[in-house]
């Protein structure tokens, strides 16, 4: 007769056998799984190394191309702006190296740079927009009218278009030296601008910014600069807004201007002014402005061509 103890021992043996089988089976599966994962990891490592090598090669080629553009740039722009005057406007995030390089190319092109006006962080600060609007209204020369746009960028562009850009029809200043000094002094004292000593009115303007920016109120700050540049263009013989804004989203002033069809109909933009090639394009775009043409130039997705006269 089979006892209860025999049944217990039998059942225990069955479960023990199952447990041993599971352990042995999972060990074999784990080994195969780990082997497969190691193979995949090795393949991914080789792919990453190949991509890094390709990137290094492309970076080297771009560096060579930029050095070449820097060498031939003065020859490419020679005489393009002969006997023209240009005022340089920079934002707080514009790189000094880019500013100096653009200034040098403008002079290589035959232009006279009449000075630099820097727009400070306060100029684009949304919290100080009302103060800027009020000050611009009080500094506007008698007998002239501000543009209808109610935003600070357009209004400030109207003020400086009056005192800092020559009348394209007569090639003469619209304001007096005292009115220019009052505008610069008032806005400088309030912390909105900084100006070179002896800054004089010019026929053309280059507005040089940094790149796509981050932080608080990015869109509002970029819009102030974009509208300021657009109004300058409407006031003088031409203007170019340039920066290093090559992102598809266009979070800098260049991208904001390109999203506004009213702006792009008059204002030229360059999105790679932080490169030697881009700075050459700035000068060529400014020359094109004298012919009443405008374009979106550079390498970003919203550019229409690499440079004036080159199909995209």
pLDDT tens by residue, 133-173: 999 999 999 888 888 878 999 999 999 999 999 999 999 99
What is the maximal distance between C-alpha atoms in the chain? 126
In a domain, 309, yes or no: no
**Environment class of residue 194 by beta-carbon count within 10 Å: exposed (0-12), middle (13-18) or buried (19+)?**
middle
**Residue 169 per-residue DSSP state:** T
In a domain, 88, yes or no: yes
Boundary residue ending a domain (77, 112, 136): 77
Residue 303 reports pLDDT greater than 70: yes
First to last CA, the chain: 96
Same domain (yes/no): 37, 122: no
297: its two tokens? 């130039």
Q: Give the predicted TM-score (pTM) of the model.
A: 0.79
Same domain (yes/no): 214, 88: yes
In a domain, 85, yes or no: yes
Same domain (yes/no): 24, 34: yes
Q: Which contiguous run of DSSP H or E holds residue 89?
A: strand 85-91
More confident residue, 1 or 33: 33
Query: Helix (H, G, I), strand (E, B), or coil: what is residue 146?
Result: coil
Q: Which contiguous run of DSSP H or E holds residue 188?
A: helix 177-189
In a domain, 121, yes or no: yes
Query: Helix (H, G, I), strand (E, B), or coil: what is residue 284?
Result: helix
Average pLDDT over residues 195-203: 95
Residue 58's pLDDT band, with cuts at 50, 70 and 90, is very low
Same domain (yes/no): 63, 133: no
Same domain (yes/no): 4, 151: no
**Which residues lie below 8 Å from residue 62, measured CB to CB, with a gap of 6+?**
none
Crossing angle for the helix pair 129-139 and 152-164, to the nearest 10 degrees = 30
Same domain (yes/no): 26, 106: no
Boundary residue ending a domain (25, 45, 77): 77
200: its two tokens? 């004089």
Same domain (yes/no): 89, 216: yes
Q: How far is CA 47 from CA 12, 34, 54, 56, 278, in A?
A: 52, 20, 11, 14, 33
In a domain, 213, yes or no: yes
Boundary residue ending a domain (18, 49, 77): 77
Domain of residue 13, residue span: 1-77
């Amino acid at each position: 007769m089979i006892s209860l103890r025999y049944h217990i021992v039998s059942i225990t043996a069955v479960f023990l056998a199952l447990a041993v089988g599971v352990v042995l089976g999972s060990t074999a599966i784990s080994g195969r799984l780990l082997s497969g994962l190691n193979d995949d990891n090795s393949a991914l490592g080789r792919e990453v190394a190949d991509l890094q090598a390709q990137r290094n090669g492309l970076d080297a080629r771009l560096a060579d191309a930029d050095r070449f553009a820097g060498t031939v740039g003065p020859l490419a722009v020679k005489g393009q702006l002969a006997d023209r005057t240009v005022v340089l406007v920079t934002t707080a995030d514009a790189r000094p190296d880019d500013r100096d390089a653009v200034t040098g190319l403008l002079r290589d092109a035959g232009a006279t740079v009449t000075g630099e006006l820097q727009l400070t962080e306060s100029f684009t600060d949304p919290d100080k927009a009302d103060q800027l609007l009020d000050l611009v209204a009080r500094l506007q020369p008698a007998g002239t009218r501000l543009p209808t746009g109610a935003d600070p960028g357009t209004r400030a562009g109207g003020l400086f278009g009056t005192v800092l850009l020559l009348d394209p029809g007569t090639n003469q200043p619209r304001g007096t030296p005292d009115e220019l000094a009052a505008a610069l002094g008032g806005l400088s004292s309030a912390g909105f601008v900084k100006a070179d000593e002896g800054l004089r009115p010019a026929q053309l303007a280059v507005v040089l910014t940094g790149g796509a920016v981050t932080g608080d109120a990015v869109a509002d700050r970029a819009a102030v600069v974009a509208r300021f540049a657009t109004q300058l263009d409407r006031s003088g013989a031409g203007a170019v807004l340039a920066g290093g804004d090559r992102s598809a989203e266009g979070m800098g002033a260049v991208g904001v201007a390109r999203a506004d069809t009213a702006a792009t109909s008059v204002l030229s933009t360059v999105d790679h002014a932080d490169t030697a090639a881009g700075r050459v394009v700035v000068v060529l775009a400014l020359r094109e402005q004298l012919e009443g043409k405008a374009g979106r130039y550079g390498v970003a997705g919203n550019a229409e061509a690499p440079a004036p006269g080159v199909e995209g």
